[in-house]
Structure 1
Amino acid sequence: MTPNELAQLAEYNHWANQTLYKSCSKLSEADYKAQRPSFFGSIHNTLNHILVGDKIWFGRFEASPESLSLSDILYQDFASLQTAREAEDLRIIKYAQNIAQTTLDDNLTYTNVAGNTHCDPMSALLRHAFNHQTHHRGQVHCLLSQTDVPPPSLDIMYYLRAQD
């Protein structure tokens, strides 16, 4: 992984989150928070989980770990969550734009939410953080398909074409 590749992932990630949130903003409050068969139980809870994961991982990357549980609900309403998502995405972009190759080539020692200490390649952990978002955005995509709001196309190719 190079700093340029990481910056592109961060920009794509921001675009995908904005695109997904735009679709979710069309839901009624009832549909947005409706309990549905899924790992986190609702669109709202799943979007919260994605934010929690980012705060945990990027806190570790920036040497200021967050003390959060993976099931924490940081925001009770869509508007607050959307504002926090945007701020987190801008944080991630800034982090990616300022990373050095030496950091990407290094390892990171961290303690996970279960209290276990690990040491893993930084580039793999960063890939994991972005893959985690993609995975759970896919779950929200599926949950949206159970509503009247059509799920948006989130493939990276759509992002790249939007940049032209």
Structure 2
Amino acid sequence: MRDHFLQLADYNAWANRRIYDAAREIGAAARTRDIGAYFGSLQGTLTHILVADQLWMARLLAQPAPYARLDETPTDVFETLWAARGDQDAATYAFISGLDDAAIAAELVYRDMSEMPRRLPRRIILTHMFNHATHHRGQAHHQLTQLGLAEPPPLDLPYFVLDLV
């Protein structure tokens, strides 16, 4: 099970690099333009993915929540956001590397955004983290098209695997 989640962590980092590279290509004005997306702009969408990942990682590490809301903006500076994204991807991989299958299957007790106590197996939380990021990267991919990028990068898992060959 750990190997599966490590592969997902690698894929997640790969997809994040590709979407951030494309976001850098369109420039700051397009990246931060409110286009009516749920989080306003492309950068808002990318920020939300990071904030959610940081919240879940804090829960997994039994640390205090770094944010009170899922729409917080820890930085408006794209390069700082990109660096934090890379740090988070590395932290996720390192966290999973330190788990065995029993720890992945074990339940975690945490508090949700409304401070309600919750209990879920770590495997569900990790699956959610990767699924959540994929969902919002799909939105970001569409936003890149809306913002004029002719060919946003393919992000499908087979392309990641083929890049490894």
SS at match of 2:109: strand
Report the CA distance between 1:84 and its aligned residue: 0.7
How many residues align? The count is 163
Aligned match of 1:133: 133
Alpha-carbon distance in 2 for matches of 1:153, 1:74: 28
Aligned match of 1:159: 160
Matches within 5 A, 1:3-152: 3-68=2-67, 69-149=69-149, 150-152=151-153
Kindly report the root-mean-square deviation, in angstroms, between the aligned alpha carbons of the 2 structures.
0.9
- Identity between Structure 1 and Structure 2 (%): 32
Report the CA distance between 1:66 and its aligned residue: 2.1
TM-score by length of 2: 0.95
Conserved 8 A contact 2:8-2:130: yes
Conserved 8 A contact 2:105-2:122: yes
SS at match of 1:52: helix
Moved over 6 A (4+): none
Residues 16-35 of structure 1: per-residue CA shift (max 9 Å, x gap): 00011111110121101001
SS at match of 1:145: helix
Report the CA distance between 1:77 and its aligned residue: 1.4
SS at match of 1:109: strand
SS at match of 1:26: helix
Alpha-carbon distance in 2 for matches of 1:96, 1:65: 19
Alpha-carbon distance in 2 for matches of 1:121, 1:80: 32
Conserved 8 A contact 2:48-2:72: yes
Alpha-carbon distance in 1 for matches of 2:9, 2:79: 22
Residues 75-95 of structure 1: per-residue CA shift (max 9 Å, x gap): 111111001101111111111
